[in-house]
Chain A
Amino acid sequence: MVSLELRQLVKSWPDMTVSASLLAKTGTMLAVAGPSGCGKSTMLRMAAGLMKPDSGKVFVGGFDVTESEPHKRGIGMVFQDYALFPHLDVAGNVAYGLRAKRLGRARLAERVGTLLAAVDLAGFEHRKPHELSGGERQRVALARTLAVEPSVVLFDEPLSSLDASLRKRLRSDIVDEQRRLGFTAVYVTHDLEEAMAIGDSLAIMDAGSVLQCASPRKVWSEPATIAVARFMGSGPCLPVLRMEHRAGVLTALTASGEFPLPGQESHEPSIAAGQRCVFFERSAAHAVTSMSAPENTADQGCFDAWCVRADYAGDVVDCLMDSGGERFTLRFSRDTAPESGSCRRYKVPADTIRMITDRWAYASPQSE
């Protein structure tokens, strides 16, 4: 098994430019998330060779395949709704790509049988796609794709038209198969939750370019830019009014409050030039009672906010907060959640506060 690397793949239209660089490491699942129309599918189609990029290169296992025919790249693809051929039965679908191998009739049937058995569909040879359940279709699609023994499998929103519960089950099936068979995979989806659950690493795309590529955990708690943070919805972005040194600590002043940034004294002025925001995870803020916090430190990392609306979500409560005109969502455990309409003071631990900007600080998209 090998890796897939897209190096500065560019495709331009009059109203949109897709410019993507990505690395899917050997044997891992790279999830790509982004809003609809951000260029995810275009990137995938360029990687598969179904669309010619204006510039850039595609490497599979270190070999440049940019000029290769689609089927000579060692790339397989699972399409939206699986795109099973409706006029062929299951065996016909799975055998479609095996034709070039010129196996005999018996060998072909044997191979199809083996492939179907591998996805737990032995005996389904003569069913038609419309007679299958959603899960069975997915496994046929996977068997069809794996029949040609690709080193990399691309998934183009395969689950987007299914209902939520089935989607959850099928995505864990995909992960199981990928782990078991060990192929390298790129999984594109507009569903952030799906992307975080399925990916060993997660790339966030918007407006044609990759904004961040890291582990889902890192993207969640350390978004590279304001755009990533807003797309992830993992915490509030409070606009910074100005930076000051308070008691030797660099402090960001926002309309809501003052947030110390310990350990970030050597803040680069160049980054500080753009729009800056204070970011912390949505579950990092805790309400303070006047007793527990001494007055002199109460201002540091604290903000007052009133709860506009509290949405009960089972074991947690998502509260829409308003602080200094800025609206954001915080997540509380059931017992600590504020009442809707109540105004309280919240404190954020200093070590969870980060500063992000509207521009990407990293030089290379592959760095983590």
Chain B
Amino acid sequence: MASKAPQRRLVVHPGAVLFPAFGLFLLVPLAAAFSPLLDGGAVRNLARAFSEPRFMRSFGYGISQAAASTLLAALVGLPGAFLLARRRFPGKKFLSALSAVPFCVPPLIIAIGFVLYYGREGFLNRSLMSIFGLSEPPLQFLYSFSGVVLAHGFYNFPVVMRLVGDAWATVPKRHEDAARLLGASERRVFFTMTLPSILPALGAAMSLVFLMCFYSFVIVLLFGGPGVGTPEVELYRAARFEFDRPLASAFALAETLVAMLALYAYATFERRAAGDRRDAERSAPHGFKSASGALMALLYGAFILVCFMGPLVSIVVESLTVRTAMQGPWNPGFGNYASLFSRRGFAAAVLNTMMLGLSSAALAAATGFAFSVGLKRSASSVLSKLLPLLPLGVSGVVLAYGWNAVLGSPSVFAIAAVQAVSAYPFALRAIQSSVGLSDERYVEAARSLGSSRLGATVRVRLPMAAPSLASGFALAFAMSAGDANAIIAAPVSGFETLALLLYRLAGSYRLNEACAAAVLLAAGTGFVFFWKDARDGLA
């Protein structure tokens, strides 16, 4: 034994690798993003920032739009959660698959879809005008607070639907049965048994949606109008157009603190939601008992189709519409794709997207795996609970801004690092769902059969976790390839990706070509996402 002890120490402790890696990718840019605050005194800079009216206004705007969007997402998502958990109906798979949208359809595409569908010249307005013979478009809310809230709410409702639906489906049946036998009406069963069981999941989902909306960049940038934007947008403006680095840092610091509060709420709800319900018998979903129930579900389905699928479908339609000089009837064709393909730099953009997506996904999946192995062994529960979530509370724009400050100039490496960190919490979640990682007995069995710690990880954990690793990888790839925030915030000259191309096409009102690019991008990320059923990792 005496000779073995020093050998043991040579084995690299996971923490020794993980914490520096984590520090490099998260803390270094974060510190760099905050450091300009110290130029000329942190207190003075903060005081100046707080005295600027747009500082407080942007936080008021950012928080209120995120709260309103979260409320809308919850309102739209809850009926879906109920239907997924408790009812059997045709199209259920489709509804369930929508939960992939917030992760594999980039916000930029959603934004374009909303312009095409809800915009002044959009499908909805044109239809309403022709039906009712109006001379003015009736819906003119898109470029306003309500437009942002609508886009965010619809974009994120599947998150609520999925997370709450999963919790709803696993409410132990015997609790509800016990309540029924004790004389509770169905109403009382819902309010005293079902609701308390799904509230933590609802809280977790809503905090997550709040975070995502609070940090939403592209949608606010496009729909927010010229007035005050969210802190994320104001940070971008301050850093990129006004070169006011202390102000940008103040925005970064304050918005990170707000996000940390939301993250804390998320972690608290998440812990309470993760009660032990695995063994309990569940209520099997059944068909509709009454015609009114079926009618309500039908109305809900129609609502989702019209309000949520409409924008997505109009992107596909628009991409196939060839615009000619005169406004004629619908003129389908692949002209937009042809002109997109023949664009100079298109092939490079596709290649760059692949490279960027693959490298950040590899980074996210590798750290995710190392973390889920390492955290298993770390004694501190706070550390193991908080560390994986931390990147959720840090915005990609802040990180990109930080990397800029560290490296002096924008670089592709920085973008990959930012995207990896942003995608990493979701990749980790997918990876952690693996049995091989959650059940220590397999590794213990391998160790008892003579494997070393590392050998057990390589020969047992890794192969067992392979499917979930693939899911995590696919998820991270989809999120990174579709992400435009980091590149918009820190553009590297001469480096274009599909997402950036899409943004520029949309910005120069070449909507048809933008739609073609959007369809290609969404097809790519969606394909990768559904490959290996990555969405199962989200639950």
Residue in A45, A50, A96, A144 whose CB lies within 8 Å of B184: A96
Q: Considering the chains assembled together, what is the distance between the CA atoms of A83 and B193 in angstroms?
A: 11
Q: Is the CB of B178 within 8 A of A77?
A: yes
Q: Is the CB of A50 within 8 A of B177?
A: yes
Q: Which of A43-102 contact B (CB under 8 A)?
A: 45, 48-50, 70-71, 75-77, 79-81, 83, 85-87, 96-97, 99-100
Interface check B181, CB cutoff 8 A = yes
Q: Which of A28-51 contact B (CB under 8 A)?
A: 45, 48-50
Interface check B172, CB cutoff 8 A = yes
Q: Is the CB of B181 within 8 A of A76?
A: yes
Q: Is the CB of B177 within 8 A of A79?
A: yes
Contacts of A205 in B (CB 8 A): none
Residue in A70, A79, A81, A85 whose CB lies within 8 Å of B193: A85
- Nearest B residue to A83 via CB reads B174
Q: Considering the chains assembled together, what is the distance between the CA atoms of A100 and B182 in angstroms?
A: 9
A135 to chain B minimum Cβ distance, whole angstroms, is 19
Contacts of A71 in B (CB 8 A): 180-184
Contacts of B140 in A (CB 8 A): none
Contacts of A87 in B (CB 8 A): 196-197
Contacts of A45 in B (CB 8 A): 177
Q: Is the CB of A80 within 8 A of B193?
A: no
Residue in B174, B183, B184 whose CB lies within 8 Å of A79: B174
Q: Which of B176-207 contact A (CB under 8 A)?
A: 177-184, 188, 192-193, 196-197
Interface check B6, CB cutoff 8 A = no
Q: Is the CB of B175 within 8 A of A80?
A: no
Interface check A142, CB cutoff 8 A = no
Residue in B175, B184, B196, B275 whose CB lies within 8 Å of A83: B175
B273 to chain A minimum Cβ distance, whole angstroms, is 13
Interface check A159, CB cutoff 8 A = no
Interface check A188, CB cutoff 8 A = no
Q: Considering the chains assembled together, what is the distance between the CA atoms of A71 and B193 in angstroms?
A: 16
Contacts of B193 in A (CB 8 A): 85
Residue in A80, A81, A86, A97 whose CB lies within 8 Å of B182: A97
Q: Is the CB of B174 within 8 A of A70?
A: no
Contacts of B188 in A (CB 8 A): 99
Contact pattern, B 278-293, Cβ under 8 Å of A = 1, otherwise 0: 0110000000000000
Q: Considering the chains assembled together, what is the distance between the CA atoms of A145 and B177 in angstroms?
A: 12
Secondary structure of the A contact surface, majority rule: mixed
Q: Is the CB of B196 within 8 A of A148?
A: no
Contacts of A80 in B (CB 8 A): 174
Whether A83 touches B172, Cβ cut-off 8 Å, given contacts A50-B177, A77-B177, A96-B192, is yes
Whether A148 touches B183, Cβ cut-off 8 Å, given contacts A85-B193, A86-B275, A87-B196, is yes
B490 to chain A minimum Cβ distance, whole angstroms, is 47
Q: Is the CB of B181 within 8 A of A70?
A: yes
Q: Considering the chains assembled together, what is the distance between the CA atoms of A99 and B189 in angstroms?
A: 13
Contacts of B182 in A (CB 8 A): 71, 76, 96-97, 144-145, 147-148
- Nearest B residue to A101 via CB reads B183
B477 to chain A minimum Cβ distance, whole angstroms, is 39
Q: Considering the chains assembled together, what is the distance between the CA atoms of A100 and B184 in angstroms?
A: 8
Q: Considering the chains assembled together, what is the distance between the CA atoms of A99 and B178 in angstroms?
A: 14
Q: Is the CB of A77 within 8 A of B172?
A: no
Whether A99 touches B174, Cβ cut-off 8 Å, given contacts A85-B193, A87-B196, is no
Contacts of B197 in A (CB 8 A): 87
Q: Considering the chains assembled together, what is the distance between the CA atoms of A81 and B173 in angstroms?
A: 12
A71, A144, A161, most chain B CB atoms within 10 A = A71
- Nearest A residue to B277 via CB reads A86
Q: Considering the chains assembled together, what is the distance between the CA atoms of A97 and B174 in angstroms?
A: 15
Q: Is the CB of B177 within 8 A of A97?
A: no
Contacts of B181 in A (CB 8 A): 48-50, 70-71, 75-77, 97, 145
Q: Considering the chains assembled together, what is the distance between the CA atoms of A85 and B177 in angstroms?
A: 11
Q: Is the CB of A100 within 8 A of B178?
A: no
Contacts of A147 in B (CB 8 A): 182
B172, B182, B275, most chain A CB atoms within 10 A = B182
B172, B178, B181, most chain A CB atoms within 10 A = B181
Contacts of A161 in B (CB 8 A): 279
- Nearest B residue to A77 via CB reads B181
**Which residues of B are at the interface with A, using a C-beta cutoff of 8 A?**
172, 174-175, 177-184, 188, 192-193, 196-197, 275, 279-280
Give 6 new A-B contacts, CB below 8 A, not counting A71-B181, A83-B177. A49-B181, A70-B181, A71-B184, A81-B174, A85-B178, A144-B178
Listed A/B pairs (17) with beta-carbon separation below 8 Å = A48-B177, A49-B181, A50-B180, A76-B182, A77-B178, A79-B174, A79-B177, A79-B178, A81-B280, A83-B175, A85-B179, A85-B193, A87-B197, A97-B181, A97-B184, A147-B182, A148-B183
**Which residues of A are at the interface with B, using a C-beta cutoff of 8 A?**
45, 48-50, 70-71, 75-77, 79-81, 83, 85-87, 96-97, 99-100, 144-145, 147-148, 161
- Nearest 5 pairs between A and B by C-beta? A97-B182, A71-B183, A83-B174, A79-B174, A87-B196
